[in-house]
Amino acid sequence: MKEIVLDTETTGISVREGHRIVEIGCIEIDNLISTKKKFHCYLNPERKVSEKALEVHGYTDEFLKDKKKFKEIAEEFLSFIEDKRLIIHNAEFDLGHLNNELKLIGKKEIQNEIIDTVVLARNKFPGSANSLDALCKRYKIDNSKRVQHNALMDCELLAKVYINLLDQKEPKLEFNNSDIAPSEILKNKVLYFKKIIKPTSDEIKRHNDYLKKELKKNFFN
């Protein structure tokens, strides 16, 4: 199943105060494996970045002033996410800003199925910290390069967190042949081992006999 891991950065917290999106990052995964497809853009928010937001992501007004406006990338963005399930950390925030941007240009709100990894984390670890950094630390995911927030980097980290929240091992497969669909690779690969296979009594006996013979020590009398 194809899903989109999505993150945004903004000029501030509340759309009610007129805050806008300055960055969108998306990566596509198929059955929890990256397809290598990404969508990423910086945006001219047509307003100033708040001091608090600047501390979070570091995108200055000067840096953003020559970037595209949301209306210029809206169709490309919507074509990328299509109707795929969206994986978002604190979905209410990102969706609120995305739907506000869509509303400003006369488009419908996002109707995709949403999985909020904050909710997953709260259900799995009640009372524990559930920020992206906290979850990376919990699952020993290297986030040392995350000095400031970056939508695309955060998506890559979130994809790993999401896999762990689902109690799955992180897939290690690499796609060297772009012509092979991930779904075809999955047919021939076992990604996760959850069943413990115990030896039979006959196998245990033969193993013990082998140890007696090879080690020449009778530990089993």
pLDDT, one tens digit per residue, over 160-216 is 999 999 986 555 444 444 444 444 434 433 333 334 445 566 666 665 665 555 444
3-state secondary structure of 78: helix
Q: Which residues contact 18 (CB under 8 A, 6 or more apart)?
A: 47
3-state secondary structure of 130: coil
Q: From the candidates 19, 57, 97, 149, give the one annotated as an active-site residue.
A: 149
pLDDT exceeds cutoff 60 at 96: yes
CB atoms within 10 A of CB 56: 14
| Structural domains of the chain, ranges and CATH numbers in brackets | 2-174 (3.30.420.10)
Q: Which sign does the torsion angle of CA 192, 90, 146, 2 carry?
A: positive
Q: Tell me the percentage of the chain whose pLDDT exceeds 70.
A: 75
Rounded-to-integer distance, Cα 25 and Cα 150, Å: 8
Q: Which residues contact 173 (CB under 8 A, 6 or more apart)?
A: 33, 185, 189, 191
Give residue 148's pLDDT. 75
97 carries an active-site annotation: no
The answer to whether the CB of 42 falls within 8 A of the CB of 10 is no
Give residue 47's pLDDT. 96
Q: Tell me the percentage of the chain whose pLDDT exceeds 90.
A: 70
Give residue 220's pLDDT. 38
Q: Which residues contact 182 (CB under 8 A, 6 or more apart)?
A: 30, 31, 33, 35, 175
pLDDT, one tens digit per residue, over 109-164 is 999 999 999 999 999 999 999 999 999 999 999 988 786 788 989 999 999 999 99
